[in-house]
Structure 1
């Protein structure tokens, strides 16, 4: 049941499970309280609060997340979320496609197409995510190689697919880091273990989709070609590695 509501684009999977447990969801007029209740959408009528739920048009959005926003529909501590920034946009419910922590910035995808989103975030597909990372200090060649080889941190293997120095100053440097899988605070934890503090972390691309000139705090819808390009990678195609 919860999976059906999510696939229809009505809400997230977790929100759907909550609605079902609260008794707000019915199937052919009968209240269902089991989120895993089998549902045949083509033969049965699903309703929330008595209102039939129909499939909504799929929407795909890219957002340039500013630092300080939480990637969550609500925060128990009352902190600002990405949804507060999108509140006046007139968009339907959209779920985040992956995450960025509060201190991180840059490209965030949101969509109500949960199948498309799952194809991008599934670890099996290895969709590249590219970041520009400012660190205190100047990582040398040995540090960059250690990032490629990886380390063990609290049972997680943390490594990068590619890393290079974009530019370096007297006290800090900017790195370009590419991940094809991601753990919680992956880059921050890896660099901390190697003795480097992260000053800024900006996601600049997901697969072939680049943040480009989209201003901080602004959003736009993806075009058909952009959606399809990410969908291709969601089915397992990897972007060729750059030397």
Structure 2
């Protein structure tokens, strides 16, 4: 009688755990959507054969994966913060030809980097970019509740009752929108600055929350993500994060 091979025998071939597009993204060579497009365009091969299915299982440790004929290997992880100016688009390319954050990085000789979260065109301030998709997901997934702090100029002088309503939240387009914390920083005759902290970020979250209370946003600046503050970094400038900052963000 032939003995059965135990289920964890070293002779048992390992089954690749991720689809090809995700493998490319995790290696840090491009975004998930860029990888899916490259695969469908026939630009990716596995062990010498073109693969057209982005979800086909692949294993970078055991297979030769090539993009545009070049062997793919994990790139050096890069983590940086940028002070995004107002009017700049957070996108790799813009169909209307507007300037993107990548124009600010064009001469830096950096590998592909993806934005960690978003800021709309009219917003400004702290934007993180990295080619570490696992780290980025840790900061952006709602279940991790990483605080984002904003300074927001509004066209009114909010009272205490209104500040409480902003933390109580509203339902807009089927989504619950609320602030974790709101304080009045300073006010003039017609305008005021608020500090608003979110622990999740929906599309145009603050603008929609304030609009529900008939408040217009004049300026919106993200000043911190978790424990990382924008500080005195000039508009349009960027810097690498320290290893301590990277670790603190992912553990916070």
TM-score interval, smaller chain: over 0.9
- SS, match of residue 4 in structure 1: helix
Residue 205 of structure 1: aligned partner: 224
Between structure 1 and structure 2, the one with the greater Rg is 2
Residue 221 of structure 1: aligned partner: 240
Q: How far 1:120 sits from its partner (Å)?
A: 0.2
Residue 104 of structure 1: aligned partner: 123
Moved over 4 A (4+): none
- SS, match of residue 167 in structure 2: helix
Q: How many residues align?
A: 233
The one of 169, 176, 179 equivalent to 2:198 is 179
Q: How far 1:195 sits from its partner (Å)?
A: 1.2
Whether 1:119 aligns to 2:138 is yes
Residue 155 of structure 2: aligned partner: 136
Q: How far 1:49 sits from its partner (Å)?
A: 1.3
Unpaired segments ≥5 residues, structure 2 = 1-19
Unpaired segments ≥5 residues, structure 1 = 234-243
Q: How far 1:177 sits from its partner (Å)?
A: 0.2
- SS, match of residue 146 in structure 1: helix
Coordinate RMSD, CA, aligned:
0.5
Aligned partners of 1:49, 1:67: CA distance in 2, in Å? 36
Aligned partners of 2:106, 2:60: CA distance in 1, in Å? 30
The one of 169, 172, 196 equivalent to 2:188 is 169
The one of 3, 8, 13 equivalent to 2:32 is 13
State the Cα deviation string for residues 174-201 of structure 1 (Å, max 9, x = none): 0000000111100001111101100000
- SS, match of residue 92 in structure 2: coil
Whether 1:91 aligns to 2:110 is yes
- SS, match of residue 211 in structure 2: helix
